[in-house]
Each structure stands twice: as structure tokens, then as C-alpha cells.
Structure 1
Amino acid sequence: MAANGQPEKQDGGEGEEPVLSLLDVLEEDDALEDKACAVLGACDAEKCSYPEGYVRRQALYACNTCTPNREDPAGICLACSYKCHEGHDLFELYTKRNFQCDCGNAKFKQLECKLFPEKENCNSLNKYNQNFFGVYCTCKRPYPDPEDEVQDEMIQCIVCEDWFHGRHLGAVPPEHMDFQEMICQICMDRCSFLWAYAAYIAIPPVTKITSAEMDPESKDIKVDDSLAEGILGEDGPNIKTGEQKEEITTPFIKEEEINMPNGASTSTETNQKCAAGEVSHLLKSEGSPQSVCKLKEMKVSPGSKANTATYWPSNWRSKLCSCDDCKKMYTQLEVLFLLDENDTVQAYENKGKTQQATESRDPLMTALSSMNRVQQVELICEYNDLKTELTDYLKRFAEEGKVVKTEDIQHFFEELRSRKRRRLDGMQYYCS
């Protein structure tokens, strides 16, 4: 495989089209199948998910054919994308949390759901953002973007669930994408309590990004007010919008910037180490009943916050405070899901892979199970003969450095059928 994840192409000679090796094709096919299983494996492709209510997490689509020109946004489940919107212009939204399928409700003027038509007019608890119109990031562009020549990863914020270009997050993602979750600039600003945890838990970015680097065309990046409202909802807390600073500082806080409880001084190296040790011990107390609010023990000075995205390792959610006061705050900010490890995309993908592995069966074993003993032995013998002969046939091409073409495979099976006919024609039958 090439470094960019695409199959390497071999030159079949001057004037010939480049060809892929069989191994390249199989590896690419396996990678695509694994990705599809991860995203779609936990969804039912036959039944509308509406009766399940607001599903914790599911793959969603938006139909540009049924809700064009930025009309009322709507989301549909996997099964409805197949059965009710076949041939339509669909936007793949990956996964969203706590969403109930809209297919055929009042948002669709001329379409009735074929799988579950008995729906309420609207799903009042659904949340929508610009993704439902096929645009993403602060740049509000489609993906893939035919006008964007820059190779860049799109990363999903686990709070607002919008997707962002890595270069528009204010801080370069850690090398090799070595992080579990990302929280965008807008959501960090809205949920400012997270800066206290970022000082000790978040993964430092590779480098900070200036506004000029984020957008070569403009010196400043502006966050559209309507975008913020679309992400957060009308009743959400106030957030800051407008111009971004010329240069963005790192969000990760030095030990001496942490205000420790009881007025403890952190001016000396000893006190700094003690303070860091106390907080580290506090963050390790996962899952146990809390007598102390972790957040109150980790107050962050105003200068420690920065207008950047943050990157978080696996299991970081388990370190969040779960005292009653913090839970009330999470509820007000509509981020109570942060305490739920099963809310993560990773947990959803693992569920899909496990479910798919359980349901999938080897086709050979399926065929064998429907045969009697004699037929089973005959099939296994034929299979082993085919495997041996095909391996020997392909081995000659490998030794001579030749490319296997379609006509070569066709010739192999023609020869195989011919030998089988000669064998059958030469058999003699006797009656006793």
C-alpha cells in the first residue's frame, strides 16, 4: 500500500494501463469493508429506526433531493436511505447522537416513509447543524470540496458533531492522528470548564497556527453567528463569535498557572510539584463516589484559555467530575453525554464490528451445512483440488514476473472444466 493509503499502481509497460496487484485490491477491499462495518454494522439496513426513539448513536443521511435549497433540515436513518431515498442526492453525515429518524414526517412535503409511515410531524429533540445541508467546518464548504486542492483530514468535534479541516482548528492535530476525540474552538469556548481538564489530560498539539496559516486568503477567521446558533440551538448558552486573534497561544496550562485550593502558593518548585501531584491523584479517582469536586480543585486562570481546538486521549471522559454540581452544569450546557463512555464513536464502531463478525458466516461452511456426508466429502475434495491447481498456476506468473490478466484466469477455468469433462467421459460404470 502507498503511504497515502491508496493502492500502489504497477506499470504494465509502455503504452499499457497501470495495473493493481491482487494483494493491493484485497487489502483495499478489506479496509473499505472494515470501515463500512464500523459505521453501519450497528444499524439495521432493513427497518426504520424511528420506533427505537432517539437512538444513542446511529449513521445518518440528509436528502438534498427532498429538502433542497436549505429548507427545513431533516435526517434519515440507514434503512430509509436505501428504501425510501434510492437514487436521491444524499449527504452522508457519518454518525450523530440522540437522533430520531425524520423520514416521511412533516419536513418531507411529497414523500411518505415506506418502512414506518406512522410518524409524528416532527422530532422536537433532534438537533441539526449545517452538515444537514452538505457543508462543514468554519469555512462552510462541502466535502469533498472540488475547489480545495489542499490535502487535509476532516475531524469531527464530539460535542457539536460538526466536521472541521485540521488546518482550521487553531492547532495542528497530534502526529499520526494519535488522539481519541477532538473538541472544536466554539465548543471549548462554550464549555470553558474543559480548560481545567485540558491542562492535565489533553494531548498537546504539534504546533499553534496563526490566522494567516488557517486561511491564506484572509488574515482573520470569522465564525458565522448563524453557524453558532445552528450548532448550539436557540436556548443554548451565549458564545463568543467574531474575529479570531492574530496568533493563537497554546491551551495547555503551566503548573504555576493553576490556582490551587486553600490559597496554597505555587511560587516555589516544591509547591508546584505538590500541586501537580494532588491534581493528578484527584484525576485518577475514576468511578468512585466523590466527596470533593474535581473542578473546584483545578481552577484555571483567565490567561490559560485559548481560542483553539483540543485533542483528547482515550478514556479521558472517565476523569471528569461527576458530583451533583458538575452534573447540573453538564445538563445546563447540554453535554451530560460526556460522562457516558458508550457515547463515543469508538464504542459505536466497536459495537458495529462485533455485531458484523457475529452475523457473518463463511459461505463454504454455509454450503457444507446443507449437504449430506457424501456431498460434503466431494465438495471438500473439489475445493482442495481447485486451491492446489490455482496456486500452482499463479505461482508461474509470480516466478516469471508477469501480470495476471482477466484472460489468464478465464483460460485457467476453461482448462479445469476441460480436464473434468475428460475425466468423466473416461469413467466406466459396472453393474454387479
Structure 2
Amino acid sequence: MSDISASEYINQQNALEDEARGLMPWSPSHCTYADGSLRQPVFACLDCGEIGVCYSCSIQCHADCRLEELFTKRGFTCDCGTERQESKKGDFWCHLRQNQERDVPSLSNRYNQNFKGLFCDCQNKYKAEHDSTMIQCVLGLECNEEWYHCCCILRRHDHATDCLQNSSQDNQVPSGFPAIDSFEGFICWKCVNRYFTIFQALLSHRRSDDVIAHTVAHYSTLVQPKSESGVSELPSKRRRNSETDQPFSIMLKSGYDNALLEIKEGLEESDKLFIFLQDIAPFLISDEPVYEFSEDSDNDTSTFELGTKALNTSIDRDTAVAGIQAMDNIKKKLSDFLRPFAESGEVVKEEDIRNFFELQKGKSKDK
């Protein structure tokens, strides 16, 4: 490295952190337990009793646990530091709430195989490096907002090995599956089956074409009949195939929420479709916004806090967190080392930095 003044070095670091803060403005400093039931990002902790924890607790309380990112869940209360949590880490059950006794867990939380790190009808762990595209059921009343491989949507799990075998290289969806950009929402065949008479009424409504992009059969074999467009659809979009009684999923068009609202407003209050949209699944018309953590306005936010916000499923979380913690620790030590140079206006030489890191290396060996 070339010689650089300590003040220039610090200014460079501050500029980088300002840029990072602009991209990642949320601070992981608040546990959402006290906020109650929310639509929020949820992480499954596989080491503390297969619980679901909020974004902040995944970083501040469970960074050294095996975590599975579940993305958003509706109506979920953070389990961190409650009686559902089996393992205590340090002095507190939740480091953010700093409770020494476990709190009462929410009775409204719904759990499924996702909290064991398993997904889809094939009940497998998600492997980002070779899994096909997965999409989440927007209804989720039967499947609990499950994530599905596109290939498993077309066929039963006992035929769902090697999802990528018939997938296109462009978007990793199997042949016969609708293009991802051709629909906005997906309702799985399990949720459709549970409310079949409701969806039968919707499919028969004169404005169904404003809501439904595709009806995709969930075939029990690898061979699917295809429409002229190449999409595996039911023989009739208006009804289930009475001869095969094949389960099916529904793909919703962009703007389906507005169309459903207009359909609902034209129905009698006693109509079963009206009741469904009014009381059972009102989120199909106006979904609760995803909870957002407070904006980080602290200019002294650590590299660890900034870095953890960049974690995603394509990175091994344990390795990333350990690296970020180490980076934050060394940054603090380096800042302390450079402070006298900055205060005196001295130039930091390459030899000074080399000696600093040699000293840190020596301390590491002594531990």
C-alpha cells in the first residue's frame, strides 16, 4: 500500500460506510416480540427448538446458530426469548430484550416443515446452488405460505427428483411451466383444494380473466398434456377436469388485488366469495405491509451491523457472520491504532500498518 494519512484513511472508511448505509438503512437493534403478530421476515433457528425469530434476533441473538431464512410470514410473533426457545445463550434469553426469564410465546404462530429447514412438497432442504426456482403460495391458509419448486408444482413429490432435468437455462423452470414474468401471485393446489368451492366460484365469475393468468395441473406422472402455449393447464380453465379430478394450482395476474376488490364490491354480502375475501383472506385484496425496522441514523454503526444486513441465502451464514465479526473487531483495533496519527497529522507508512497486523497475528497465536 502507498503512504496515506490517517485522516484520509478514516475519511475513505466513512465514505464506504455511508454508501453501505444508503443501501442497507435498517438497524438490527429491535426485537419485534413486544409488537405482537406482524407480517415480517422470519428466520427458523434449528438449534433452539425450531423456533422462528425476527430479523434483529437472527443477528444479535442467534448468529452462531443454524438458521434458515423463511422470508416473510403473516401474523408471526418473534419466538426469541420465549418458552419455545430451548437453549439460553449468555446471560439473557433474548439479548435485545435482556429478559432473564423466558416470556410467554404467542399462541397464534403457525409452524410447518419450514421451521425444520425443509421446503416444498418434496420435503427437501433448499440448496441455492442447484435447486430450481421456488415460489411462495400467497394464500398459505392450508400450506402456511410454503415455498415450492416449480417442478414440484407440476407433479407429486415422488416424481420430483432432479428438478432441473427439464428446466430452461434462462429461468430454471421446467418445461410446461408458465413463464415467471407472466404472473404475479401463486396459490398452491393444497390451498385451492381446501377452498375448492370458492375458487370454483371465482373461475366461473365473468371477470375471472382479470384475476387468473393460469390454472396449472398438479400431475401425478412426469407426462403432462400441454396447451398450445406450452403451459400445462387444465382442459378447461373454468372447472376441474371431472374425469381425472386432477388437483391444480392457480397463477394470479398482475394487479389481481384490485380486480378482486372490484369483484367483491359487486357481490352480495351473503355470497361465499364475498365472505372469503372479506373475512378469510382479506390480504388477497389489501395485504399487510411487511414490518420495517427503524432506519439507522447512527453514524457510528459498526461494520458488523452493516455487513449482517447484506447476508443472503447464497452465502454460508455461519462463515459470513464469523467473518463480519472478525472484520468489525480488527476495524476497531485499527481505528484505535490510527487515532494518534490522525491527531498529530502524521503520515501512516506501509511499515506501520505491517507492524500492526504482525502484532495482531502474534496475539492470535498466543490465544
Q: TM-score, normalised by structure 2?
A: 0.53
Question: 1:204 corresponds to which residue?
Answer: 214
- Classify 1:184/1:66 alpha carbon distance in 2 versus 1 (closer, same or farther; 3 Å): same
- Classify 1:100/1:184 alpha carbon distance in 2 versus 1 (closer, same or farther; 3 Å): same
The correspondence for 1:194, drawn from 195, 199, 206, is 199
How many matched pairs?
Answer: 232
1:202 and 1:312 in contact (8 A); partners too: yes
Question: 1:336 corresponds to which residue?
Answer: 282
Q: What is the Cα deviation at residue 313 of structure 1?
A: 1.5
The correspondence for 1:104, drawn from 57, 81, 89, is 81
Secondary structure class of the residue paired with 2:73 = strand
What CA distance in whole angstroms lies between the structure 1 residues aligned with 2:223 and 2:105?
38
Question: 1:152 corresponds to which residue?
Answer: 132
Q: What is the Cα deviation at residue 317 of structure 1?
A: 2.4
What CA distance in whole angstroms lies between the structure 1 residues aligned with 2:76 and 2:223?
32
Q: Is the aligned partner of 1:162 residue 2:150?
A: no
- Classify 1:66/1:204 alpha carbon distance in 2 versus 1 (closer, same or farther; 3 Å): same
Secondary structure class of the residue paired with 1:60 = strand
Structure with greater helix percent: 1
Q: What is the Cα deviation at residue 304 of structure 1?
A: 11
- Classify 1:251/1:177 alpha carbon distance in 2 versus 1 (closer, same or farther; 3 Å): farther
- Classify 1:44/1:53 alpha carbon distance in 2 versus 1 (closer, same or farther; 3 Å): farther
1:170 and 1:307 in contact (8 A); partners too: no
What CA distance in whole angstroms lies between the structure 1 residues aligned with 2:189 and 2:269?
27
| Structure 2 spans left out of the alignment, 5+ residues | 1-19, 156-175, 225-231, 300-367
Q: What is the Cα deviation at residue 318 of structure 1?
A: 2.7
Task: Map 1:267-346 to 2 at 5 A.
Answer: 306-320=246-260, 321=264, 324-325=269-270, 326=272, 328-329=275-276, 334-340=280-286, 342-343=287-288
1:184 and 1:309 in contact (8 A); partners too: yes
- Classify 1:361/1:107 alpha carbon distance in 2 versus 1 (closer, same or farther; 3 Å): closer
1:251 and 1:305 in contact (8 A); partners too: no
Q: Is the aligned partner of 1:132 residue 2:115?
A: yes
Task: Map 1:46-85 to 2 at 5 A.
Answer: 46-55=29-38, 57-67=39-49, 73-85=50-62
Q: How far does the alpha carbon of each residue in 1:148-198 deviate from its partner, in whole angstroms, 9 at most, with x for none?
A: x6x521110112210001011138442243211100000011122123334
Q: How far does the alpha carbon of each residue in 1:15-47 deviate from its partner, in whole angstroms, 9 at most, with x for none?
A: xxxxxxxxxxxxxxxxxx9xxx7xx87x65110
Alpha-carbon RMSD across the aligned residues, in angstroms, is: 4.0
- Classify 1:329/1:176 alpha carbon distance in 2 versus 1 (closer, same or farther; 3 Å): closer
Secondary structure class of the residue paired with 1:253 = coil
Q: What is the Cα deviation at residue 331 of structure 1?
A: 7.0
Secondary structure class of the residue paired with 1:188 = helix
Q: Equivalent pairs: percent with the same residue?
A: 25
What CA distance in whole angstroms lies between the structure 2 residues aligned with 1:303 and 1:63?
45
Q: How far does the alpha carbon of each residue in 1:326-376 deviate from its partner, in whole angstroms, 9 at most, with x for none?
A: 4544577x4232232x33xxx64xx96xx99x87999xxxxxxxxxxxxxx
What CA distance in whole angstroms lies between the structure 2 residues aligned with 1:204 and 1:252?
11
Q: Is the aligned partner of 1:123 residue 2:106?
A: yes
Task: Map 1:1-12 to 2 at 5 A.
Answer: none
- Classify 1:181/1:44 alpha carbon distance in 2 versus 1 (closer, same or farther; 3 Å): farther
Q: Which has the larger radius of gyration?
A: 1
